[in-house]
Structure 1
């Protein structure tokens, strides 16, 4: 399984940004699927998404449930 470190987003998000975050009080990945890649937070390396196809989250902002930083796929 491949591991990919995401790019941190600093500063305010653009209007209309699609942010995916956990609504659960437990700290666990925001997304899980049937792909082959784990996306890690660019700040704390927590697995924000597991077993996904990275292209399926292109254009989304994934908020890390551990450190609460905003991440996106690398360019």
Structure 2
């Protein structure tokens, strides 16, 4: 399995990078996970509530290549 900067792939790395470094996204992610939510819950809120479909780098928050297990681990570390 190839990796990108220690992540499953470029898409997962990019989404995790933005969650970790963009303050409003980080705060939203922490709120969702504090209530037991997962990355899937975060993605649904971003898309359906805020109309945000992708990172500023153009990676879709619902890209099928995203490794949800890794992103859930990322969220639990916030």
Write 1 or 2 for the structure with the bigger share of helix: 2
Q: Is the structural similarity TM-score above 0.5?
A: no
Write 1 or 2 for the structure with the bigger share of strand: 1
- Give the TM-score taking structure 2 as reference length: 0.29
